[in-house]
């Protein structure tokens, strides 16, 4: 989708012109834009991973997480603003995967910007029609007997997957568990792997 041979100078100039003009006209202040950049840079998947690890060690928290994602984030001191967060739980029978076929809806207020593949036409087009084939490209094999629930994020809700806790992690601390949860686990395209221990 991004053609590396195409010069981006025109876009860079257009962006700068819009920003400078809005500042010149007093619509926004440069500090406000800087603050938005800093806020987005400060959000990443580790915030979601903390919630997952807590749910793995605390059944009460897990129930609250599945009932109200935003409240469960705030309970851990994670600020997410007016986010309508639906958390969907993987089980031995059900695997969840998130997509937005219309654009790129993603819980940015919690996890930061989505990866490029999430925004790609290929992922958006195919995940609703051949989820196992798409997941296999991530190296994730979902057995035929497991039900896949695809969630097309088309409107006001945003989604995060609660993966299953991998076997052999009984001795890990909560922080150690969180380190197993990478960004893709929270979208459902990969599974936490104890071999990923830092």
Partner 1 sequence: MRSVHDVGGLHFGAVPLADHEMATWEKRSNAVAAALRQKGLATLDEQRRHVEALNESYHKHGYFERHLLAWAQIVIDRGLVTSAELGRMLAGDPELRAVEPPRVPPAGADGQRAGAPLPARFRPGDRVRVLNAEPPGHVRTPWYCRGHAGVVERVCGVFPNPEELAYRRSGLPETTLYRVRFRACDLWTGYGENPADTVDIEIYEHWLRPA
Residues that bind partner 1 (CB under 8 A): 1-3, 8, 11-22, 24-28, 32-34, 36-37, 40-41, 84, 86, 101-104, 113, 115-117, 119-126, 128-134, 137-138, 144-157
- List, in order, residues 6 or more apart from 128 with CB less than 8 Å away: 99, 101, 150, 152
- List, in order, residues 6 or more apart from 53 with CB less than 8 Å away: 174, 175, 177, 178, 181
Closer CB to partner 1, 79 or 174, in the complex: 79
Closer CB to partner 1, 56 or 123, in the complex: 123
* Residue 137, both tokens: 């490209």
Whole-number minimum distance, CB 58 to partner 1, in Å? 24
- How far is it between the farthest Cα atoms of the chain? 60
Residue bearing tokens 């100039």 = 13
Whole-number minimum distance, CB 26 to partner 1, in Å? 7
Whole-number minimum distance, CB 98 to partner 1, in Å? 10
Catalytic residues: 100, 103-105
């Amino acid at each position: 989708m991004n053609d590396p041979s195409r010069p981006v100078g025109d876009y860079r100039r257009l962006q700068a012109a819009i920003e400078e003009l809005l500042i010149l006209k007093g619509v926004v202040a440069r500090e406000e834009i800087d603050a938005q950049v800093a806020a987005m840079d400060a959000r990443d998947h580790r915030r979601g991973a903390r919630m997952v690890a807590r749910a793995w060690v605390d059944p009460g928290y897990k129930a609250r997480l599945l009932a109200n994602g935003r409240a469960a984030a705030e309970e851990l001191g994670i600020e997410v603003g007016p986010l309508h967060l639906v958390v969907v739980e993987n089980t031995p029978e059900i695997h969840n995967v998130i997509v937005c076929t219309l654009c790129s809806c993603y819980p940015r207020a919690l996890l930061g910007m989505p990866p490029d593949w999430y925004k790609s036409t290929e992922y958006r087009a195919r995940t609703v029609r051949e989820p196992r084939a798409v997941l296999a490209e991530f190296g994730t094999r979902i057995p035929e007997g497991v039900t896949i629930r695809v969630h097309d994020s088309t409107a006001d809700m945003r989604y995060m997957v609660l993966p299953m806790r991998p076997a052999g992690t009984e001795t890990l601390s909560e922080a150690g568990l969180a380190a197993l949860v990478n960004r893709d686990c929270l979208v459902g395209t990969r599974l936490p792997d104890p071999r990923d221990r830092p």
